[in-house]
């Protein structure tokens, strides 16, 4: 494996493929945490809210200050226009990074009370997604996430809200299911996943899958790998948000590889939240080379100062991933997404064209061309499908 990696690096050195041209899906991004800094400044001024400090590029001492900043961001969502703007701008920023599909996670419990409750807010977000898709060509599917620091009963109630919207025929974006996953996020410390199993049973039927956070920060000392294993074996998740602490347990690493489970990894986030002591020690390369499927993601661009394209560039420059490994991550981002099949196939074709380019002048479909292929019209059909 090491010899193959060395050979790939020699091949990559012949010319540098443009990472913007590499088609991608982003599977681990928080909608509210992806607000543009300028939008946050404007909305804080509009509503008389003290703007939280700029945390981009700064390490957090623990999860507490991160949560405080995130809550402040959600306080700025006060009018329907704010929701439409947020979703549109997140999709625009994804397009600018070469993404064709994104699956934003929602911290909906932090602001739903201002929009008529969870179900009304979900319907609003779905309408905003349909408009954003039409204007940007980036497809969206939401992950509705429970807050693990709240009682498990709140998570079960949220799961019922999700089912009510879907079963009532209101969970659609352009005639397809717009809620693709049920998640579990917020502070892992002191909040293991076990009490939330019932919520996943309620939500994860009829096209909604389990996509929990696990293996970022141990719920208690030494339990990081165990939290990943529980989510995979007991909740049935085949995608884990973060999951990097699985690297501490070789048996679990092999188990994940054998299952074909996918870890949606966010290197900058892990470093700034002190999950790893340095980027050079991030476990992503070792996980990939051990056969674990991984995707590359930005998590919370507003708070960390990163974006999807920048994370790919970081993985090349600081983590030493080869172009073949970067392409494998991009390929996995489509295969493990909940995107429509035609979007997956067009993305995969683009990834192979990018990887098979023999020089900088080789033909690779431009991001705009791929966006044109997947752009969704106002009637909800896929153009060219």
Of the candidates 179, 110, 142, the one whose C-alpha atom is nearest the C-alpha of residue 29 is 142
Token digits of residue 120:
């009304």
Query: Is 123 an annotated catalytic residue?
Result: no
Report the chain's terminal Cα–Cα distance, integer Å: 39
Strand pairing class (142-147; 99-106):
parallel
Element holding 180 (H helix, E strand) = strand 179-185
Question: Length of the chain, please?
Answer: 385
Residues 6+ apart with CB under 8 A from 76: 35, 40, 43, 44, 47, 49, 82
Handedness of CA 285, 317, 65, 61 (dihedral sign): positive
Give 183-252 as a DSSP string: EEES--TT--SGGGHHHHHHH-STT-EE--EESSS-SSTT-HHHHHHHHHHTS--SEEEE-GGGGG-HHH
Of the candidates 95, 140, 134, the one whose C-alpha atom is nearest the C-alpha of residue 376 is 134
> Which listed residue (26, 103, 188, 216) is catalytic?
216
Cα gap 261→256, rounded to integer Å = 5
Asked if residues 319 and 285 have their Cβ atoms less than 8 Å apart, the reply is: yes
Asked if residues 362 and 376 have their Cβ atoms less than 8 Å apart, the reply is: no
**3-state secondary structure at position 99:** strand
Q: Which residues are catalytic?
A: 216
């Amino acid at each position: 494996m090491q010899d193959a990696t060395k050979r790939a690096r020699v091949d990559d050195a012949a010319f540098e493929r443009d990472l913007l041209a590499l088609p991608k899906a982003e599977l681990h991004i928080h909608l509210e945490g992806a607000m543009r800094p300028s939008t946050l400044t404007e909305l804080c001024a509009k509503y008389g809210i003290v703007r939280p400090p700029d945390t981009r590029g700064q390490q957090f001492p623990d999860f507490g200050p991160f949560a405080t900043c995130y809550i402040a961001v959600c306080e700025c969502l006060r009018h329907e226009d704010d929701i439409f703007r947020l979703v549109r701008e997140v999709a625009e920023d994804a397009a600018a990074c070469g993404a064709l599909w994104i699956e934003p996670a929602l911290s909906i419990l932090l602001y739903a009370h201002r929009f008529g409750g969870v179900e009304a807010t979900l319907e609003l977000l779905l309408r905003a997604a349909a408009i954003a898709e039409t204007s940007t060509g980036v497809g969206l599917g939401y992950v509705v996430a429970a807050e693990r620091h709240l009682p498990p009963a709140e998570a079960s109630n949220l799961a019922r809200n999700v089912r009510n919207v879907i079963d009532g025929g209101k969970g659609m974006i352009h005639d397809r299911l717009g809620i693709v996953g049920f998640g579990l996020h917020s502070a892992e410390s002191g909040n293991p996943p076990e009490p939330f199993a019932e919520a996943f049973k309620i939500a994860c039927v009829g096209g909604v899958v389990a996509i929990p956070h696990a293996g970022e920060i141990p719920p208690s000392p030494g339990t990081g790998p165990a939290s990943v294993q529980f989510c995979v074996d007991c909740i049935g998740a085949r995608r884990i948000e973060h999951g990097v602490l699985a690297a501490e347990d070789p048996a679990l690493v092999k188990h994940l590889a054998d299952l074909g489970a996918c870890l949606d990894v966010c290197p900058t986030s892990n470093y700034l939240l002190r999950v790893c002591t340095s980027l050079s020690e991030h476990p992503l390369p070792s996980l990939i080379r051990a056969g674990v499927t991984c995707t590359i993601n930005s998590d919370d661009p507003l708070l960390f100062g990163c974006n999807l394209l920048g994370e790919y560039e970081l993985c090349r420059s600081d983590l030493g991933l080869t172009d073949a490994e970067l392409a494998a991550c991009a390929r996995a981002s489509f295969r493990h997404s909940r995107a429509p099949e035609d979007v997956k196939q067009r993305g995969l074709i683009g990834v192979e064209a990018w990887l098979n380019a023999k020089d900088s002048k080789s033909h690779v479909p431009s991001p705009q061309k791929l966006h044109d292929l997947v752009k969704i019209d106002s009637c909800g059909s896929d153009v060219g499908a």
